[in-house]
A = this chain, B = another copy of it.
Amino acid sequence: MQVGILYGISISTGDPELITLKGLRLLRTADIVAFPAGLNGKPGVAEQIIAPWLIEPQQRLPLQFPYVRDLKVLNQAWEEAAAKVWSYLEQNQTIAFACEGDISFYSTFTYLAQTLQAKHPEAIVKTVPGICSPMAAASVLGIPLTVREQRLAILPALYNVAELEKTLAWADVVVLMKVSSVYDQVWPILAKYKLLDRSWIVERATLPTQKIYDNLQDCPQLDLSYFSILIVQVNSSGSQQPTKN
C-alpha cells in the first residue's frame, strides 16, 4: 500500500513573505492543507498567514489542539488529529501541516507526528525548517541575537525566579519564550542585575500587530500577549570566562 506524506512546514512567524520557497512549493502542491484550528470559529494565526498562498481546490483541514496543560486532554486531541491525518494519508493523499515558527522548535507538529508514527509506523513524515521566533525577534529589533562566543540559553517556560538567576549567571544571552505570565516576576530580577536596558520584548514578531519594547526601565508591569519573547543581552562581548567547577 502506498501512503501519502505528511509534511510539517514552517510557514513564518507572521509575515507571509517569510516562508521558504520549499515550504511554499510543498504547501501549494499538497492535496490537503492542515493547521491548528482557531478559537471560537475564527481563523487561527497559521491559517491567516498562509491564506495568500493557498490554491482554491486545496482541501483545508483544521485540527483541534486545545490550549491546556492537562496531558490527558492533550493526548486525546493528538490522537484525534493523528487519526484524521491518517485517514487521508492511507488514501495516498499528501498533507502539508502549516506551523508558525520553526517546525522543530517547541512545535505542536512534533506531538502530532509522534502520535501518528506510534500508531502507524509506516507513516512518512518530513519537515521543512523555517524562521524561528527568537531570530525573527532579533531581526525586527535590529540587533544580533548572538555574536562571537556568546552562550545562548532559551527557556520556554519559567519554573521559579531562582532558575532565572541561575540562567543569567550561566548564559551571555537569554531568551524567555512566552514571558507574559511571568513578566511581573522577571522584571525585578532584571532590575536587580541592572539588565533592564539590555533587555527587549517583542510581541507577535513580523505580524502586522507586532509590538516592540526596547526599554524596560519604566515597565515593571506589561499586559503582554501569549506570543511575547524577551531577549536579555547579559554579556554583550561573549568573552566571559567560565567559572571553574
Which of B20, B151, B157, B163 meets A131, CB within 8 Å?
B20
Chain B positions within 8 Å of A160 at CB level: 242
- Number of this chain's copies in the assembly equals 2
Report the bound CA distance from A191 to B159 in whole Å: 30
Chain B positions within 8 Å of A159 at CB level: 241-242
Report the bound CA distance from A15 to B206 in whole Å: 24
With both beta carbons as reference points, the residue of chain B lying nearest to A12 in the complex is identified as: B20
A1 at the B interface (CB under 8 A): no
A3 at the B interface (CB under 8 A): no
A136 at the B interface (CB under 8 A): yes
Chain B positions within 8 Å of A106 at CB level: 146-148, 150
Which of B18, B156, B165 meets A20, CB within 8 Å?
B18
Chain B positions within 8 Å of A130 at CB level: 131, 135
With both beta carbons as reference points, the residue of chain B lying nearest to A206 in the complex is identified as: B129
A235 at the B interface (CB under 8 A): no
Contact with B along A165-206 (1 / 0, CB 8 A): 111001100000000000000000000000000000000001
